[in-house]
Chains A and B, each alone.
Chain A
Amino acid sequence: QVQLQESGPGLVKPSQTLSLSCSVSGASVNSGYYYWTWIRQPAGKGLEWLGRIYTNGATYYNPSLKSRVTISVDASKNQVSLRLGSVTAADSAVYYCARERVVGPTNFGFDSWGQGSLVTVSS
């Protein structure tokens, strides 16, 4: 049973960089067929896909975030990390890491999610 656990500061100052980690257990971040993804949800609002990384290191980001977002993998720690720069109050949200299963062209959805990490941007 795969488990994902987000961690990081709950409070970030405006203009600084938000950094979160997602520890994965029960699966390897190096295993094929999975995209490791970050999704966020502002309080009382819907879900926004931020970006993903594959086992080969290939990344895709939401263009809405322009060049502020970076996702990386630390295979030695079996972790996936998110960095979001130049944050504002609009970046306050619960941040989820999730695993998307893809086999060839077939997409099997986000089958595992972390419990979420609340980040507030405030001075």
Chain B
Amino acid sequence: DIVMSQSPLSLPVTPGEPASISCRSSQSLLHNNGFNYLAWYLQKPGQSPQLLIYLGSTRASGVPARFSGSGSGTDFTLKISRVEAGDVGVYYCMQALLIPRTFGQGTKVEI
């Protein structure tokens, strides 16, 4: 299985300030079609996870532009340009290259 590792596991943030989460995979997620098969999800308190980013850097429908994904191969980053109060929750990266799909441990973002 591909092992996904996130850092930090806990991230205190300040509204209006930027925030960044790192994700590393145990093997390259770069498909031969040129896309990185890495997704980001946010699980707000008491809710189901929701898709933020897929293919490494493509925002899902309705996701604000302050969220951006970058990286390639085995190293990826999720950035929030200006944190809002509603962005709190646990962020997960997930590899979509191989079965079984595997998730990072999660990064808890709190104000």
Contacts and interface: CB of A to CB of B under 8 A. Distances in A.
Contact of B39 (A51, A64, A109): A109
Q: Which DSSP category, helix, strand, loop or mixed, fits chain B's interface?
A: loop
B93 to A, nearest CB: 11
Contacts of B49: 47, 96, 110, 113
Interface string B33-71: 101010101000000111101110000110000000000
Interface stretch (B18-26, B76-84, B101-109): B101-109
B109 to A, nearest CB: 15
A71 to B, nearest CB: 13
A47 B92 contact: yes
B100 interface: yes
Given A107-B96, A109-B60, A47 B103 contact: yes
A102 to B, nearest CB: 9
A109 B51 CA distance: 7
Which of B101, B102, B105, B106 gathers most chain A CB within 10 Å? B101
Interface of A: 37, 46-49, 51-52, 60-64, 96, 100, 105-111, 113-116
Q: Give 7 closest A-B pairs by Cβ, nearest first.
A: A109-B54, A113-B48, A49-B101, A62-B100, A107-B96, A47-B103, A109-B39
Interface of B: 31, 33, 35, 37, 39, 41, 48-51, 53-55, 60-61, 92, 94, 96, 99-106
